[in-house]
Amino acid sequence: MPDAPGLELIAQELNDAQEGSVVGTYHEHGQACLIVDPRHILHVLRWLRDTPAQQYRFLAGLHAADYLPAEPRFGVHYELLNMARVERVRVRAALADPGGEELPELDSCVELFPTAEFQEREAYDFFGISFRGHPDQRRILMPEDYVGWPQRRDFPMGGEPVIFTRDEPTAPGWYE
Amino acid sequence: MSSTDTTRGSTEPRGGDRLARTDARVIGTSPVERTAIEEGLEREEELLTINMGPHHPATHGVLRLLVSLEGEIVRDLKPIMGYVHTGIEKNCEDKAYWKVIPFVERMDYISYFFQMEAFCGAVERLLELEIPARAQYLRVIHLELNRIHSHLVWLGTSALDLGAMSMFFYCFRERDRILDLFEMSTGQRMHTRYFQVGGVFEDIPVGFARNLRAFCDEMPSRIDQYEALLTRNEIFLQRTKGIGVVSKERLLDLGVTGPLLRAAGEPWDLRKADPSLCYGDLDFRIPVGTVGDGWDRYRVRVQEMRESVRIIEQALEGMPEGPWIVDDRKVALPPRHELSTSMESLIHHFKLVTEGFRVPPGETYNPIESPRGELGCLVVADGSAKPARVHFRDPSFVNLQALRDMCLDGYIADLIQNLAMLDPILGGIDR
Amino acid sequence: MRRERIRALAPLEQPATREELRVRQLRARDLLRGDLDGAELEKHVEESVLATTLEKVLNWGRANAMFPATFGLACCAIEMMAIVSPRYDIARFGAEAMRASPRQADFLILSGRVSIKMAPVVRRLYDQMLEPKWVISMGACSSSGGMFANYAVVQGADKFMPVDIHVPGCPPRPEALLYGFNKLQRKILGNPDAGWRARYNAAGTEEWAHDETITDGGIEEYQRAREIARAAADA
């Protein structure tokens, strides 16, 4: 992993190339993370992939997380790997929730990393994060006509309560 | 969907890859087409879309494939997943950290120790815990046994798909021996909940080392038996040689890791590149293929079984004495005999069992090398006793994107073979 | 007419009481003496000779030559594959021919968690099976949702299809599944295992729902059911 000063240099160079891309850095537990403005995510990923000194050419994983109640609410993590130097860097796009019916939007990186295809579909399926430019954005693991974004933190867990005998009077009709 | 352009009915081998055999059949033009072209007739243009699965004997689990066929040649392939989606990741947000361990085990249900290791490793990193040496060796032994188990199940079921039914019985005979070993050390055959945050649950019992050594002594000869059945078998060679070749660069673009990538010639293995636990102290080799066809994938996995046996032997020899779980009572349960003597231990036990330990806020990603590729676990902690987010980067999920490239312009019978050699586990894909 | 009478008989009719056994013994004695005739003779023939009815033979054939439908969904599927393996060997019970097609299968081993996307598929496959068919729900997840009480898993396959045998475990050992399979065989033979309340003579310990929770529509049936249960307990 690039060490903390190295990470700061990367952040500096990214901000030099395009102002406002990196809004923060985070170096803990031996791992480097760049917190990025979601509007500039493609620039950051392309820079990390193509710059001769960086060459993080392998996207190991794309994870989405819901940080409710912290703002911005969603984080889309891109785990980048440089196989030659065995170095990893994580890029987190801090995405805000527009609220209401509108879905948070992010540019799709399928052109840069074809492996993101299924993984972006998964982020869409579970969090409702819409990826602009994704060739085939539809649900991947939930049924196609499912309503709701299951892994958001405000989505209920579901399932059924276990009904004990003492609860039967308050749970009428359970035998039907 | 994919960025490669497939020209239908082209006369060159797909993708321009060199095929391993000199008399390899040309995939891309069926004999019918070739005759038609020779006789100057019109080419067949009609595509038939069939649905394979989700209930199908040869899809390894409940995978649904929409296959568009022209004659017997696959022209398009769409996998549809989610038929065993269990909502494990969401369920984990509701459980204390140690209760998450049985949940994440059940994702990729054949290599269950690896999921435990990915999760426990991530939480240990968040807690900045150093697990004792004996625990590391015990973990490595169980992980490598699980790797052999996973490859045995793969070999048995793949050979079954290709028609070699007796391989199934031989492989499951060995698998039962491994499960006996698991039962001896952990109490359960599958889904053992053996790895805990901080080490392992319990030390191995007396007799385990002896049984394990006997297993390691016998296993290489068993692997020789499997190879004797399949490696030079003409039918197996005809079915796997030159089939399903995807170039190394394309595999890297698709994010494929594990035996698939190694069979294509890229020597990438996280046990060597980024060793965790005590893999750095052990001496083993990584099998790497050349062409990346089905036969190479088979050879890589069989050789990996042999290397795993060597790793287990070395780990057994080199295993130090000592504690099997970290001493920090705030994280690991105190031993039971202390509960009757020490008030502090009782309080720690109570706190751990009812609420669980708290993890300071942070997030981390822990990648390990599972039998299918890079298995990574992202854990986001928010300071409470329950994780805020657990997400797995599952190797089968990402490797499945390579299936389309492997199968296009090949026969539908080769699709079965490609799917078998891909080794997808739907529990990991669907989580 | 004959066939109806044959079907009306239970395949294995054991005498229920000592009196009934005594009556049978007396009838047999009279038969040997040549004194039995008319309705008594017919009844005796039904009980002793026609007790080996066609139904019983068919059931014996069905139980010992069952074709399981491979329905491996998740982890339990691996243990289900293990019962085909040589150590646990379901072939000794006649059921190693696992048919992938539901049209050719006799019983369904539902092994693994049933997700909401898979439930209609399972139901359709169950409907495609031909009568007679049985279902073994293997494992905790298909019996009751298992450890996954969430939005994605159906909490028990018997929410949408009839299940004959539930095998608990996560995953159940192959021996446990074989025990469940043997239980199914006994059920098919017409000799179902008695529930634990009968085995332990614990009739009357049922925890019935309280009367207040039952709406008017169901109260007569419920009271009738209670009467029957009470009568059975007293008998």
Question: A9 pLDDT band (50/70/90 cuts)?
Answer: confident
User: What range defines the domain where residue B45 resides?
Assistant: 14-80
Q: Which of A165-169, B280-284, B365-369, C147-151 has the lowest mean pLDDT?
A: A165-169
User: Which tokens sit at C32?
Assistant: 């040997």
pLDDT at A96: 87
pLDDT higher than threshold 80 for residue C207 = no
Q: Do β-strands A58-66 and B64-70 pair in parallel, antiparallel, or remain unpaired?
A: unpaired
User: What range defines the domain where residue C95 resides?
Assistant: 66-188
pLDDT at B7: 40
Chain C: residue nearest A167 by CA?
A: C209
**Between B366 and C235, the higher pLDDT residue:** B366
Per the domain annotation, does B6 fall within a domain?
A: no
Measured distance CA(B339)–CA(B257) in Å, rounded: 46
pLDDT at B285: 92
CB hemisphere CA count around B173 (13 angstroms): 12
* pLDDT average, residue stretch C54-59: 83
pLDDT (tens digit per residue) in B93-129: 988 998 999 999 999 999 999 999 999 999 999 999 8
Per the domain annotation, does C58 fall within a domain?
A: no
Question: B140 pLDDT band (50/70/90 cuts)?
Answer: very high
User: Which tokens sit at A163?
Assistant: 């009904």
**Between B362 and C34, the higher pLDDT residue:** B362
Among B57, B87, B103, the residue with its CB nearest the CB of C152 is B87
* CB burial of residue B317 (10 Å; 0-12, 13-18, 19+): exposed
Question: C20 pLDDT band (50/70/90 cuts)?
Answer: confident
Question: Which one, of C122, C177, C125, C168, lies nearest residue C143 by Cα?
Answer: C168
pLDDT at B14: 45
Among C116, C148, C213, the residue with its CB nearest the CB of A169 is C213
Measured distance CA(B299)–CA(A21) in Å, rounded: 46
- A164-172 own/partner pairs: CB under 8 Å, 24+ apart: A165/C207, A168/C209, A168/C210, A168/C213, A169/C210, A169/C212, A169/C213, A171/C213, A172/C213, A172/C215
Question: Which one, of B62, B155, B149, lies nearest residue B112 by Cα?
Answer: B149
**Does C71 contact B56 at a Cβ distance shorter than 8 Å?**
no
Measured distance CA(B365)–CA(A59) in Å, rounded: 13
Question: B209 pLDDT band (50/70/90 cuts)?
Answer: very high
Instruction: Return the SS3 of A44.
Output: helix
**Does one domain contain both B62 and B100?**
no
pLDDT at C175: 93
Question: C58 pLDDT band (50/70/90 cuts)?
Answer: confident
**Does one domain contain both C87 and C179?**
yes
pLDDT at B22: 34
**Does B86 contact C72 at a Cβ distance shorter than 8 Å?**
no
Per the domain annotation, does B144 fall within a domain?
A: yes
CA dihedral C68, C71, C76, C82 (to 10 degrees): 40
CATH number at residue C111: 3.40.50.12280
Per the domain annotation, does C76 fall within a domain?
A: yes
Per the domain annotation, does C161 fall within a domain?
A: yes
* pLDDT average, residue stretch C67-74: 87
**Does one domain contain both B354 and B402?**
yes
B106 touches chain C (CB under 8 A): yes
pLDDT higher than threshold 50 for residue A176 = no
**Does C212 contact A169 at a Cβ distance shorter than 8 Å?**
yes
Per the domain annotation, does B2 fall within a domain?
A: no
Give the CA angle between residues C58, C61, C64 to the nearest 5°.
145
* pLDDT average, residue stretch A45-69: 89
The count of CB pairs under 8 A between chains A and C is 40
**Does one domain contain both B70 and B104?**
no
Mean pLDDT of chain C: 80
Distances in Å between the Cα of B178 and the Cα atoms of A67, B107, B182 are 42, 20, 6
**Between C34 and A32, the higher pLDDT residue:** A32
pLDDT higher than threshold 60 for residue B9 = no
Residue C162 distance to chain B (closest CA, Å)? 19
Contacts of C152 in chain B (CB under 8 A): 85-87, 90
Which of C67, C70, C71, C73 to substitute to test the interface with B, most B CBs within 10 Å? C73
Among C145, C152, C213, the residue with its CB nearest the CB of A168 is C213
DSSP chain C: -HHHHHHHS-SS----SHHHHHHHHHHHHHHHHT---THHHHHHIIIIITTS-HHHHHHHHHHHS--EEEEE-SHHHHHHHHHHSTTT-GGGGT----BSSGGG-SEEEEES--BTTTHHHHHHHHHHSPSS-EEEEEHHHHHH-TT--STTB-S-GGGTS--SEEE-SSSPPHHHHHHHHHHHHHHHTT-PPPPHHHHTT-TT---PPPGGGS-HHHHHHHHHHHHHHHHHHH-
Per the domain annotation, does C10 fall within a domain?
A: yes
Contacts of C212 in chain A (CB under 8 A): 169
Question: B21 pLDDT band (50/70/90 cuts)?
Answer: very low
Out of B80, B108, B135, pick the residue that ends a domain.
B80
Among C149, C207, C215, the residue with its CB nearest the CB of A159 is C149
Per the domain annotation, does C61 fall within a domain?
A: no
Q: Describe chain A by its helix, strand, coil percentages, rounded to 5.
A: 25, 25, 50
pLDDT higher than threshold 50 for residue A26 = yes
Measured distance CA(B58)–CA(C210) in Å, rounded: 50
C129 touches chain B (CB under 8 A): no
**Does A150 contact C153 at a Cβ distance shorter than 8 Å?**
no
**Does one domain contain both C98 and C170?**
yes
Among C116, C207, C213, the residue with its CB nearest the CB of A172 is C213
B2 touches chain A (CB under 8 A): yes
**Does B426 contact C151 at a Cβ distance shorter than 8 Å?**
no
Chain A: residue nearest C116 by CA?
A: A143
Q: At what angle do helices B165-186 and B208-230 cross, to 10 degrees?
A: 170
Out of B64, B80, B96, pick the residue that ends a domain.
B80
Per the domain annotation, does B235 fall within a domain?
A: yes
**Does one domain contain both C41 and C71?**
no
Measured distance CA(B389)–CA(B93) in Å, rounded: 6
**Does one domain contain both C214 and C165?**
no
**Between C106 and C197, the higher pLDDT residue:** C106
Distances in Å between the Cα of B327 and the Cα atoms of B200, B324, B404 are 12, 9, 49
Measured distance CA(B121)–CA(B275) in Å, rounded: 12
Q: Which of A3-7, B67-71, B423-427 has the lowest mean pLDDT?
A: A3-7
pLDDT at B56: 81
Which of C76, C99, C123, C147 to substitute to test the interface with B, most B CBs within 10 Å? C147
pLDDT at B378: 94
Answer yes or no: are the C-beta atoms of C157 and C163 closer than 8 Å. Answer: yes
Contacts of B106 in chain C (CB under 8 A): 74-75, 147
A→C contacts (Cβ < 8 Å), by residue, are 142-143, 150, 155-160, 162, 165, 168-169, 171-175
Residue C162, preceding bond cis, omega within 30 degrees?
A: no
Residue C81 distance to chain A (closest CA, Å)? 26
Out of C150, C168, C188, pick the residue that ends a domain.
C188
pLDDT at C51: 52
Q: Which of A25-29, C39-43, C139-143 has the lowest mean pLDDT?
A: C39-43
Q: Which of B176-180, B215-219, C207-211 has the lowest mean pLDDT?
A: C207-211
Q: At what angle do helices B294-318 and B412-422 cross, to 10 degrees?
A: 10
**Does one domain contain both C133 and C174?**
yes
**Does B83 contact C115 at a Cβ distance shorter than 8 Å?**
yes
CATH number at residue B98: 1.10.645.10
**Does one domain contain both B32 and B101?**
no
**Does C87 contact B109 at a Cβ distance shorter than 8 Å?**
no
Per the domain annotation, does C127 fall within a domain?
A: yes
Q: Do β-strands B389-393 and B373-381 pair in parallel, antiparallel, or remain unpaired?
A: antiparallel
Question: Which one, of B115, B3, B431, lies nearest residue A115 by Cα?
Answer: B3
pLDDT at B307: 94
Chain B: residue nearest A146 by CA?
A: B82
Instruction: Return the SS3 of A17.
Output: helix
CATH numbers and ranges of domains, chain A: 4-170 (3.30.460.80)
pLDDT at C218: 57
pLDDT at B35: 59
User: How many structural domains does chain B have?
Assistant: 2
Residue B22 distance to chain C (closest CA, Å)? 37
**Does C112 contact B175 at a Cβ distance shorter than 8 Å?**
no
Mean pLDDT of chain B: 86
Per the domain annotation, does B8 fall within a domain?
A: no
**Does one domain contain both B311 and B243?**
yes
pLDDT (tens digit per residue) in B47-56: 889 998 788 8
* pLDDT average, residue stretch A51-76: 89
**Does one domain contain both C101 and C157?**
yes
| All residues at 6 or more sequence positions from B422 whose CB lies less than 8 Å from its CB, including other chains | B260, B399, B400, B402, B403, B406
pLDDT higher than threshold 80 for residue B391 = yes
Per the domain annotation, does C59 fall within a domain?
A: no
**Does one domain contain both C44 and C90?**
no
Per the domain annotation, does B7 fall within a domain?
A: no
Question: B254 pLDDT band (50/70/90 cuts)?
Answer: very high
**Does one domain contain both C204 and C173?**
no
Question: Which one, of C143, C74, C77, C65, lies nearest residue C104 by Cα?
Answer: C65
Q: Which of B116-120, C52-56, C212-216 has the lowest mean pLDDT?
A: C212-216
Q: Which of B416-420, C97-101, C121-125 has the lowest mean pLDDT?
A: C97-101
Per the domain annotation, does C60 fall within a domain?
A: no
Measured distance CA(A53)–CA(A87) in Å, rounded: 12
Per the domain annotation, does B4 fall within a domain?
A: no
Longest dimension (CA), chain A: 70
pLDDT higher than threshold 60 for residue B399 = yes
**Does B109 contact C148 at a Cβ distance shorter than 8 Å?**
no
User: Which tokens sit at A115?
Assistant: 């492996």
**Does one domain contain both B63 and B144?**
no
**Does B401 contact A115 at a Cβ distance shorter than 8 Å?**
yes
| All residues at 6 or more sequence positions from A169 whose CB lies less than 8 Å from its CB, including other chains | C210, C212, C213
Interface predicted TM-score (ipTM): 0.89
B187 touches chain C (CB under 8 A): no
Question: Which one, of C212, C214, C219, C177, lies nearest residue C68 by Cα?
Answer: C177
**Does one domain contain both C71 and C155?**
yes
pLDDT at C33: 78
Instruction: Please give the share of chain A, as a percent, with pLDDT higher than 90.
Output: 28
**Does one domain contain both C46 and C116?**
no
pLDDT at A170: 63
**Does one domain contain both B62 and B156?**
no
- Cβ-based neighbour number of residue B68 at 10 Å: 14
**Does one domain contain both B426 and B350?**
yes
User: Which tokens sit at A130?
Assistant: 């819409």
**Does one domain contain both B231 and B283?**
yes
pLDDT higher than threshold 90 for residue C224 = no
Measured distance CA(C189)–CA(C169) in Å, rounded: 25
Mean pLDDT of chain A: 86
**Does one domain contain both C183 and C202?**
no
pLDDT higher than threshold 50 for residue A169 = yes
Q: How many residues would you count in chain B?
A: 431
Measured distance CA(A148)–CA(A125) in Å, rounded: 9
Per the domain annotation, does B128 fall within a domain?
A: yes
Answer yes or no: are the C-beta atoms of B357 and B383 closer than 8 Å. Answer: no
Measured distance CA(B285)–CA(C210) in Å, rounded: 68
**Does C117 contact B85 at a Cβ distance shorter than 8 Å?**
yes
**Does one domain contain both B176 and B304?**
yes
pLDDT at B17: 40
User: How many structural domains does chain C have?
Assistant: 3
**Does one domain contain both B115 and B251?**
yes
pLDDT higher than threshold 70 for residue C15 = no
* pLDDT average, residue stretch C208-235: 62
**Does one domain contain both C103 and C166?**
yes
pLDDT higher than threshold 80 for residue C204 = no
pLDDT at C225: 67
Out of B37, B64, B80, pick the residue that ends a domain.
B80
pLDDT higher than threshold 90 for residue C96 = no
